[in-house]
Structure 1
Amino acid sequence: MRVSPVAVAGARQAIPFAAAGLVVSLSFGISARAAGLPALATIAMSVLVYAGSAQFAAVAILGQGGSVSAAVLAAVLMNARYIAMGLAIGPSLKGGRVRRALEGQAVVDASWAMANRGDGRFDRHTLFGSSALQYLTWQTGTIIGVVAGGALPNPEALGVDAVFPAFFLALLVGELRDAEAAAAAIGGAIVAVVGGLLAPPGIGILAASAIALVGVRRPRTAAVRA
């Protein structure tokens, strides 16, 4: 099977994002194991969900004793931005609805940005190449993190309890460049903190995810799929 040179170029462009994803997913694997998730469930989440913010939110809720339904709903809300991104890139994908839906699974933040030609069109081969490399490193990092988290007698000693807030703080800082997004992000952060202190486990993150949707008016990019 011949690989498009554009896809290869896209993979090369994605190397910095893939490297960052490796580090984040390794932290996720260790953190998920420290939160009590089984190894296979942690790996399956990375394989099927493949979204940093959604995965960290779900594990944070489950680690606090929250319900599976609350974790799933929070993950869905965190990824709502991909609806807008999918609508934007849809006309640039090939085939009927089913094929376009399958090709659209390659959309991640960095790849979506790299594939954007700037005139409303997207290069699908760039999308596929850049996403493929990032997916590979995300799974690799998760597996290494799961193995390390399961082998260590006290993974919390590595400071993995700080991974969740640090990850979401990084996302928050990235949104402060836009006034509307900053207002939504700060509002969500406040609700998450207050809800975490006063509400049952998981409710704070769930409410913050819903409030953050106010800022989802146009697709934005991030270094890793968040």
Structure 2
Amino acid sequence: MARPKTPLLTREGIRDAALGLVDRDGLEGLSMRKLAQELDVQAASLYSHYRTKDDLLADIANGIMAGVDVSGFDSGDWRHGLTVWARTYRRALAAHPNLVPVIAVGPGRREEALRRADAIHGGLVAAGWPPRHATMIGASTKYLVVGGAINSFARGFDDDVQVYRDRYPNLFQAHKLAEHAVEIDEDSFELALEAFLAGLEGIFEKVRTRTGGNPDEGGGEGVRH
């Protein structure tokens, strides 16, 4: 039998094409029918690799989460671990903003997300945080990152100076924000992260004093994020 002239359909190829569709058209622009058209195959061919669109999206989310770095916790320095995790997490989300609603919903059963959640929780506890605090820190970091990735503060302003000059005197330069959106959004995230870590420093000292350096005395096992 002659070899097919076109490459066989693979899960990787399906994922890449689906991610391209979502990046271009948003989540609502992805359907198995449209994806099949994009790949020039029959929709039935896709279902032999993925049972549902949700299964496909979960696999794509798994791949994106694989680029999030939690190795900073290996050093035992929770500040370094959180910094590396938060920056790479935001970068991964910002690269595919249309997928944020899928990724941000939580790890569920996604292997890569669960592996990272386990590393983060374990790293925080090993560094001296009680389990309950470790859970809350993981959640708080996620809120910070997702908020920074899902929306742009600077791009929310019009570039027409007339909009602000007469009625909003304190916003007389707001029309320039969109032009510098990338820089403003990056620097604003770094400021928020710095303030967050500084606040945690004070809490950490209080927790260590109260528990005598024993994280198990910190109030329960917590829930892994």
What's the TM-score once normalised by structure 1's chain length?
0.25
Rg (Cα) greater in structure: 2
Whichever structure has more helix as a proportion of its residues is 1
